[in-house]
Amino acid sequence: MLTSTNPRTGETRPTGIAACAPDEADAVIRAADAAFAAASAHDRLWRAGLLDALADALDAHRDDLAAVADAETGLGLPRLTGEVGRSSFQFRMFAEALRDGGYLEATIDHADTTALGPQPEIRRMLVPLGTIAVFGSSNFPFAFSVAGGDTASALAAGNAVVLKAHSSHLATSKASHAVLRDAAAAYGAPEGLIGIVYGTDAGRVLVSHPLVQAVGFTGSLHGGRAIMDLIDARPRPIPFYGELSSLNPLIVTPAAAAARGEAIADGLYGSFTLGSGQFCTKPGVAFVPTGDAGDALVARIAAKATDAAATVLLNGRIASSFDEIRDRVVATGSVAVLAQGVADPGAGFTAVPTVLATTAAALTSEATEEAFGPLIVLVRFDEDAEIVRALDAVPDSLTATVHSEASDADAVAALVRELSPRVGRLVFDGYPTGVRVSWAQHHGGPWPATNSQHTSVGVSAIRRFLRPLAWQDAPEALLPAELRDGYEGIPRRVDGVLQLG
Q: Tell me which residue of 386, 415, 385, 380 sits closest to 400, measured CA to CA.
A: 415
β-strand 399-403 against 250-252: which pairing, if any?
Answer: parallel
- Is 24 known to be catalytic? no
E-assigned strands of 278-414? 285-289, 311-312, 336-340, 350-351, 354-359, 375-381, 399-403
DSSP state of 334: S
E-assigned strands of 244-353? 250-252, 285-289, 311-312, 336-340, 350-351
The dihedral region occupied by 373, where left means phi > 0, alpha psi between -120 and 50, and beta the remainder, is left
Q: Looking at 243, 370, 386, 482, which residue is catalytic?
A: 243
β-strand 131-135 against 212-218: which pairing, if any?
Answer: parallel
**What's the CA gap between 501 and 486, in Å, rounded?**
10
Element (H, E) at 215: strand 212-218
Q: Give ∠ CA 474-479-482 in degrees, rounded to 5.
A: 135
- Is 280 known to be catalytic? yes
Q: Which residues pair with 399 in a beta bridge?
A: 425
- Based on its alpha-carbon atoms, the radius of gyration of the chain, rounded to whole angstroms, reads 24
Q: Taking the CB of residue 359, how many other CB atoms lie within 10 A of it?
A: 16
CB 291 within 8 A of CB 309: no
CB 379 within 8 A of CB 290: no
CB 51 within 8 A of CB 91: yes
Q: Looking at 280, 370, 386, 482, which residue is catalytic?
A: 280
Half-sphere exposure of 419 (CA within 13 A, CB side): 24
Please give the positions annotated as active site. Answer: 243, 280
